[in-house]
């Protein structure tokens, strides 16, 4: 499964709140919820976050072996 735990660390380090994502960057609350739950999001969403944070994909997400 994909894990977005790194995303939350990068946002915290850069001082960007979820409120700022919604209000300043126009990220939908639904997308934020999906990321929090490590659910599927589009590559467009990942691209938007990379653009906002000026980072690479590996800086905000990683593949984690699913033990199920």
Biggest distance spanned by C-alpha atoms of the chain: 38
Output the CA–CA distances (angstroms, integers) from residue 50 to 7, 45, 66, 68, in the order listed: 10, 9, 25, 30
What is the model's pTM?
A: 0.89
pLDDT of residue 5: 97
Please report whether residue 26 resides in a domain.
yes
Confidence of residue 17 (pLDDT cuts 50, 70, 90): very high
Confidence of residue 67 (pLDDT cuts 50, 70, 90): confident
Please report whether residue 68 resides in a domain.
no
Say how many domains are in the chain.
1
CA distance 39 to 12: 20
Please report whether residue 60 resides in a domain.
no
pLDDT of residue 66: 82
Distance of CA 11 to the CA centre of its chain: 9
Please report whether residue 36 resides in a domain.
yes
Please report whether residue 16 resides in a domain.
yes
Q: Which structural domain, as residue segments, surrounds residue 45? A: 2-55
pLDDT of residue 53: 97
């Amino acid at each position: 499964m994909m894990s977005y735990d790194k995303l939350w660390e990068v946002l915290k380090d850069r001082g960007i709140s979820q409120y700022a994502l919604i209000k300043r960057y126009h990220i939908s609350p639904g997308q934020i919820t999906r990321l929090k739950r490590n659910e599927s999001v589009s590559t467009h969403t990942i691209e938007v976050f990379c653009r906002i944070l000026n980072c690479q994909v590996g800086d905000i997400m990683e593949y984690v072996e699913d033990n199920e």
